[in-house]
Structure 1
Amino acid sequence: MKLLDKENVSFKKNFRYILSTIILLILLVYATVFSDQLYGIFGESNYVTIHLMIELLIIIVTMGISLQVWLTSKFYLINKDIYMGALFFALALFEILHTISYKGMPFFITESSPYEATWFYMAVRLFLPIGLIMISMIKVKKVSIKHQWIAYSISLIIFISFFLIIYSPSPFLPPLVIEGLGTTLLKNILQFIGAMCSIVLIIYLLRHFKTAPRRSMLFITSSMFMIISDVLFVTYKDVFDFYNFLGHIFELLSFTVLYRAIYFSSAEEPFNRLIEANEKLEASKKEMYNMAYFDEITSLPNERFLYEKLNDLLTMNRRQMMIVCEYDRLDAIKSSLGSNYLDKLLKMIAERIQNIVPKNHFISKLRADQFAIFISENVKLHEVRQICRVLQKSMKAPFHIQHFSIVGSLNLGISQFPKDANNGRDLVKHAQFAMYEAADVPDQMLFYDPTMAVGRTNRVILENDLHQALINNELYLVYQPQICLKTREMISLEALIRWKHPERGIISPLEFIPIAEDSGLIVPIGNWVLETACYQTKLLQNEFNRPFKVAVNLSLGQLFQENFVHVVQSILFKTQLPANSLELEITESMTMDSNHITPILHQLKCIGVSIALDDFGTGYSSLSYLKDFPIDCLKIDRTFVNNIRSHKGHEPIVDMILSMAKHLELKVVAEGIEIEQQLNYLLRNDCDFIQGYLMSKPLSFESLIQKYNEIQDRTKDLIERVVPI
């Protein structure tokens, strides 16, 4: 936009010079028609005075150009500027002698006559365009200060040499003007040469117009004025002729425009560049300030700004609060959808927070994709809780980013000053500790307690160890057999991950899986589980020559990978496991974002993979989504199976799931079978598959191969013992 404005201004200024030229040409035509009347008005006696005034103005202009370049060029020392100043220094001296030697002026060395005056004028007329052409054609470069003295000295030498030629005792050059007859042929030829040089200069400037449009237009306008003066100077009959006067007017205009051009290039343009450089510097400083103190994505004050603000605002004589909040699932969203979606989500979260939190509270964005809200007023605890609840309620509404609908919740931690911390950094850190712990409580909101610091330290250590666990092969899989009650055989198994820590021993998945989900490690770990399970299942099929099927639990982070279906296909191809031998288990919580999950599940079905819904019955959304999701199997959660305690026991939820599955033509797997009464109940109610410690605990791959026949025999004995009569 600024570039267009500059171009418009440049065009207007250039158009102004063109319009001025046209107006002057119109005046020239008018003067030609009424030259006799104008001659009569001025009178012959006044022409010398008028001419003197015009020449003095020309001298002032040319000498002004020379002095201006002399004073300004020493700061830049550009060769073109220095040569331009030297040229006009010589022209100014020639103009001085032309003026004092003009006919009618007082005696100077010899009596004033057209001979001296016209030759000094012709020196100006020829040196000007030739000098401008030569200067325009040289390459711009920086020179030393001595070049300035050398250039001006050469100009002075040229002037002195020409002065001695003109004022030699006997005329060395032929006259250019004859009294009463007008200009001679030589004068007209020289004038024509000067005009041709001006035309050559115009052509050269037009060819290089884009490099310096403003300066070129000024030089072209000046050359046009000089050409008009050439025409006038070859048509007058004596020095008092009106055309001679008018020629001097155009000559003055030509030098005036030249002065404007030199002023623009040597003073105005460098000054404008300096102003522009200062503006860019100020803009750069502002940009650097914004980069240093504001978050690029949300435009909120960043962590550095917050700490500097806290140094000024924390006051020991009143209670102040720090709220740190984080939208859950951010790491899973980043690892699956990419940073672009995460940035858009963070910006939308920031906007919601700003719309809710009162303006007198300070909101900032922390480095760990968290938001801090500092309450400097002495507010009550219930007021802080109310702000947190409103924030949590607002975040439950889905965020719509392109074709994704992201649903999540907000974890909030609150610390108090000076109760929990005596400086800004500890105040923020303790609020973060409370926020991390809040993710595990129903309200998802907690005030800081000193015991939280110890728990967070252990969690950070465990997260760091988990990073190394995948690299050091500390993770491994165990398999729990799934028994088909109709064939009474083990035809499938569920893959379960375990971690053997080098110092702490076996760590429960309930402890490290949430850490993996929060840190984003769940995606590489989940892909490792999937590939390992497929590979070992293929080995198991080869070992026993049976089409075993393996069930693998999926995380939400895996499903949010842009290329998850391709990952599954690649693993199946790499391990040579048939697609119908793989079953992927999802949980009810994953069905919340149906817009994203549904097409992925359909794509998995298309490649032959079956889908199971794990922990069925513990959520609230599955019944409404069963008709939409391409589900093959329901897994009854162990909490419902545990309620079956006798042969005559009746569990309505289990009955409902079994009945519904039959109508929907879905298979059912019951988890957590530990006693024979549970097995008996499920047999009598036509459950399809069971798994649990009654048949076998989870086994390593090697143990599974060794105990396969034992599991088969044990299962058949159990079923025969409890089979209903």
Structure 2
Amino acid sequence: MGIRTEERVTVIQGVLGLGVMLAAFITSAGIPVKPSSIEALRTVQLLSGLICGAISFAIFTQGWIMFTEKLSRQRLYSAVLFFLLGALDVLYTAGIGQIRLFGLETGPGLTAALLMIANAVCPIGMLFIFSVPDRQISGKHKFIVLLGTALVSAAGIVLLYTYQKYLPVSWLESHLQVPGRIAICIAVLGLHAAAITSILYRYRHERPPAAMMVNRALMFMMMGFPLLMLADPAEVGYMHAVGSVYLAISYYFVLKGVYHLTIDEPFRVQQAVEARMEYMAYHDDLTGLPNLRRLKQMLAALIDSDNKHEPVRAGVAVININRFKAINDSLGYSAGDQLLRELGDRLKGLLLSGEEVFRMGEDEFAVLFSVPDGVSGFEKRAEQMLESVNPSVRIDDTEFHISLSMGLSLYPEDGQSVDQLIQYADMAVHHAKEHDLVFIRYTETMKKRTQSKVELENDMRKALLRGEFFLEYQPQFSLKTGKMVGMEALVRWNHPKRGLISPGEFIPLAEESGLIVPLGEWVLRTACRDTRNWQIQGYEPVCVSVNLSMRQFRQYNLADKVDAILREVGLEADYLELEVTESMTFDIETALSQLQSLKRLGVHISIDDFGTGYSSLNYLKNLPIDRLKIDRSFVKEVMLDGNDAAIVSTITTMAHHLKLKVTAEGVENEEQLNFLREQNCHEGQGYLFSRPVPAAVLESQFLSRLAG
């Protein structure tokens, strides 16, 4: 660790001070003082004493009164020490000026005694202050120290007044010879050296300026005290004057050091803390980019300047990472964080003058545009920035390609307030994601659609309580025998005002809002209850299939809930099939654990919409599943598209090898049926056999036929 500026200055001042002291000692010793100079030298001594007293009480004020609520042990003890030194300095100055205080007989001997006491008390106090650990103190502690200081001061004055005739004043004036004075100097200087060593050791690592200042003060005290002590106390000489000046200088350094310790350093620390807190309040911790709060602040400033007759146009673009959740789930949060930091850096690197990028939270960023003129200019610039983002990202030595969506809102065309502009840009980006668009600007219809979604969500919460949901069942048939072998339960919503609402409208909303969990439980319980009731009525038992949502599948206690429902309605697990999608098995370890828990109940497991997800054949064979359901998109074009025909053929062949059953969805005509039979597909469902029908229709048209 190198020598710092404060330390270098301390050494230089110490050397210069020592040189001046030695020069004063050598040149002043034995030189008689002219009568005309005595008053001038006495004035110097008197002024130095007054300065020392004033500084002592200034230190007391800084260390105590100015920090009543945040008083630390160091500040408190420093204040007490310099209050006592200030009192001694007042008495010392009175002795120099031959002023009678408190009935004390002042004179050279008393002055020398007070000088010794003050110069011994100061290093002892400093040694104590900088040896004990610093910490905040209570008001009770402060009161006790205050009371103790007052009592000690009062007792000292009373003792001096009462027993002044017993003080060795005359002895100090005449009998104490040079060897005795030298011994006193050595003892006091030893105390100063110990205090300096203690402070240097205490702050050996951080070495703050305040500690260096205090050491500088103790050094000048060490140099000034011998000049005063070795000079004849009965006479006024040059050594007295120089020594007094050294004491004043030392007190100045103490004042400066205490100022650094009690005011400057805490103020700078507080400034740094406040600056850090302000930075954290307006910046994202992960990316270091300004956050939503900062965006609102800057946007408000722009709008405010427009209200002051300064024409302003602004654009807010919200950027969303598509499928970010899948990246987080599959690669882990550290990879997701790395991606967010990388995208933030790339967006920042594309900024032009008058633009700023912000982290909105989760997987969203925002860009504030304030330069382009006109609607088309903003749209063109926003699209240009989006197209300029490099989609290739390397995470843990693996290269990924990301896709982004952007929504834009403009001031003053789209919104007049900060919250409106940000809200509308966010609406636009979600609209873009829902419709597989890269970029779109906000329109009024988006607001209406969002409001409609909010209303629909509120209605959905009430619908569960009001019994507005009901089930339809789509029968499943054996392609070999033509017999009904199962049925899939499908939820429907009969809205009291809007009538039947498409599942494609309310199911995604239920997923998004979390209502899919209670809705899914209701579907499962109702389907199991209907199936059990039909068994009780004597119909031939068939298996019912129920779709699980992603949120349901991720429940840690899913198997317990399914088991509780089966027990509640009295249905055997063999008559329940749970359908999951390929995307649910993306996290293979979690999926494997969950599926094994369900299989232990005895239920059947099928993978729905097979072929549209990301299943790996390497782990598909290890999953405890019973059936693959070929997605309707492949079946629809099976007679027209050779690729779809090949996919269906491959899936059925693979399923046979894995000893899995295969069900084809969306069978609508005889040609498709014949092709699926040729591929040895086990079962099928679709409009060719039956549309989804209410429970009563299923019972009268299909279950009764089985019974017959």
Shared fold, TM over 0.5: yes
- Give the superposition deviation at 1:150: 11
Distance 1:12 1:351, change over 3 A: same
- Give the superposition deviation at 1:89: 1.0
Match runs of 1:312-351 below 5 Å: 312=305, 323-328=317-322, 347-351=341-345
Distance 1:702 1:334, change over 3 A: farther
Q: What's the counterpart of residue 290 of structure 1?
A: 282
Query: Which of 656, 666, 683 in structure 2 is aligned with 1:672?
Result: 666
Which digits, 9 at most, give the CA deviation of each residue in 1:543-581, with x for residues without a partner?
A: 69999665454556677x5xx6x4544445555786996
Match runs of 1:513-524 below 5 Å: 513-517=507-511, 519-521=512-514, 524=517
Distance 1:217 1:328, change over 3 A: same
AA partner of residue 663 (structure 1): T
Q: What's the counterpart of residue 279 of structure 1?
A: 271
Query: Which of 290, 298, 303 in structure 2 is aligned with 1:305?
Result: 298
Query: Which of 368, 371, 379 in structure 1 is aligned with 2:366?
Result: 371
Distance 1:655 1:603, change over 3 A: same
Please state whether the residue corresponding to 2:666 is helix, strand or coil.
coil
Name the CA distance, whole Å, in 1 between partners of 2:357 and 2:47: 65
Name the CA distance, whole Å, in 1 between partners of 2:328 and 2:460: 19
- Give the superposition deviation at 1:398: 6.3
Q: Is the 8 A contact 2:290 2:358 kept in 1?
A: no
Match runs of 1:127-138 below 5 Å: 128-129=119-120
Which segment is superposed worse, 653-662 or 340-349? 340-349
Q: What's the counterpart of residue 87 of structure 2?
A: 86
Name the CA distance, whole Å, in 2 between partners of 1:524 and 1:495: 16
Name the CA distance, whole Å, in 2 between partners of 1:415 and 1:175: 93
Which segment is superposed worse, 480-489 or 250-259? 250-259
Distance 1:288 1:491, change over 3 A: same
Q: Is the 8 A contact 2:468 2:495 kept in 1?
A: yes
Match runs of 1:580-659 below 5 Å: 582-586=577-581, 590=583, 596-603=586-593, 612=606, 614-615=608-609, 626=617, 629-630=620-621, 633-638=627-632, 641=635, 652=642, 655-659=645-649
Distance 1:586 1:396, change over 3 A: farther
Distance 1:455 1:350, change over 3 A: same
Match runs of 1:195-234 below 5 Å: 217=215, 221=219
Name the CA distance, whole Å, in 1 between partners of 2:171 and 2:676: 132
Q: What's the counterpart of residue 499 of structure 1?
A: 493
Which digits, 9 at most, give the CA deviation of each residue in 1:97-150, with x for residues without a partner?
A: 59xxxxxxxxxxx9xxxx964554234324653588689989984799999999
Distance 1:80 1:502, change over 3 A: farther
- Give the superposition deviation at 1:87: 1.3
Name the CA distance, whole Å, in 1 between partners of 2:392 and 2:698: 47
1:689 partnered with 2:689:
no
Which segment is superposed worse, 508-517 or 338-347? 338-347
Please state whether the residue corresponding to 2:704 is helix, strand or coil.
helix
Q: Is the 8 A contact 1:84 1:135 kept in 2?
A: no
AA partner of residue 461 (structure 1): E
Query: Which of 54, 76, 84 in structure 2 is aligned with 1:67?
Result: 54
Distance 1:527 1:413, change over 3 A: same
- Give the superposition deviation at 1:510: 0.7
- Give the superposition deviation at 1:90: 0.8
Query: Which of 93, 113, 116 in structure 2 is aligned with 1:122?
Result: 113
Distance 1:681 1:177, change over 3 A: closer
Please state whether the residue corresponding to 1:302 is helix, strand or coil.
helix
- Give the superposition deviation at 1:391: 1.9
Name the CA distance, whole Å, in 2 between partners of 1:220 and 1:333: 64
Please state whether the residue corresponding to 2:680 is helix, strand or coil.
coil
Which digits, 9 at most, give the CA deviation of each residue in 1:65-106, with x for residues without a partner?
A: 1123345655754554433312111112224459xxxxxxxx
AA partner of residue 306 (structure 1): L
AA partner of residue 295 (structure 2): N
Distance 1:456 1:466, change over 3 A: same
AA partner of residue 279 (structure 1): Q
Aligned length: 651
Q: Is the 8 A contact 1:431 1:447 kept in 2?
A: yes
Q: What's the counterpart of residue 480 of structure 1?
A: 474
Q: Is the 8 A contact 1:537 1:550 kept in 2?
A: no
Which digits, 9 at most, give the CA deviation of each residue in 1:667-702, with x for residues without a partner?
A: 421223456665455445422111235555546779
Which segment is superposed worse, 452-461 or 695-704? 695-704
Q: What's the counterpart of residue 456 of structure 1?
A: 450
Which digits, 9 at most, give the CA deviation of each residue in 1:591-635, with x for residues without a partner?
A: 9xx9x5455555556557577554456x5x76x955664586443
Please state whether the residue corresponding to 1:686 is helix, strand or coil.
coil
Name the CA distance, whole Å, in 2 between partners of 1:681 and 1:642: 12
- Give the superposition deviation at 1:456: 3.2
AA partner of residue 660 (structure 1): T
Name the CA distance, whole Å, in 2 between partners of 1:466 and 1:407: 37
Match runs of 1:19-38 below 5 Å: none
Distance 1:213 1:704, change over 3 A: farther
Q: What's the counterpart of residue 510 of structure 1?
A: 504
AA partner of residue 462 (structure 1): L
Name the CA distance, whole Å, in 1 between partners of 2:191 and 2:423: 76
AA partner of residue 650 (structure 2): M
Q: Is the 8 A contact 2:409 2:422 kept in 1?
A: yes
Name the CA distance, whole Å, in 2 between partners of 1:470 and 1:376: 50
Q: Is the 8 A contact 1:303 1:367 kept in 2?
A: no
AA partner of residue 299 (structure 1): P
Q: Is the 8 A contact 1:86 1:151 kept in 2?
A: no
Name the CA distance, whole Å, in 1 between partners of 2:187 and 2:589: 79
Q: What's the counterpart of residue 660 of structure 1?
A: 650
AA partner of residue 651 (structure 2): A
Which digits, 9 at most, give the CA deviation of each residue in 1:367-401, with x for residues without a partner?
A: 8946355364236849835852762684865685x
Name the CA distance, whole Å, in 1 between partners of 2:402 and 2:233: 96
1:388 partnered with 2:389:
no
Q: Is the 8 A contact 2:346 2:389 kept in 1?
A: yes
Match runs of 1:432-447 below 5 Å: 432-441=426-435, 443-447=437-441
Name the CA distance, whole Å, in 2 between partners of 1:558 and 1:510: 18
Structure possessing the higher radius of gyration over alpha carbons: 1
Question: TM-score w.r.t. structure 1 length?
Answer: 0.65
Q: Give the superposed CA RMSD.
A: 6.3
Name the CA distance, whole Å, in 2 between partners of 1:426 and 1:705: 53
Please state whether the residue corresponding to 2:264 is helix, strand or coil.
helix
Q: Is the 8 A contact 2:123 2:218 kept in 1?
A: no
Name the CA distance, whole Å, in 1 between partners of 2:147 and 2:378: 78
What runs of 5+ residues in structure 1 fail to find an aligned partner?
Answer: 99-109, 715-725
Distance 1:699 1:489, change over 3 A: same
Name the CA distance, whole Å, in 2 between partners of 1:253 and 1:148: 28
Name the CA distance, whole Å, in 2 between partners of 1:137 and 1:655: 91
Distance 1:68 1:445, change over 3 A: closer
Which segment is superposed worse, 506-515 or 438-447? 438-447
- Give the superposition deviation at 1:516: 3.5
Please state whether the residue corresponding to 2:372 is helix, strand or coil.
coil
Q: Is the 8 A contact 2:322 2:405 kept in 1?
A: yes
- Give the superposition deviation at 1:461: 1.4
Name the CA distance, whole Å, in 2 between partners of 1:119 and 1:534: 106
Please state whether the residue corresponding to 2:84 is helix, strand or coil.
helix
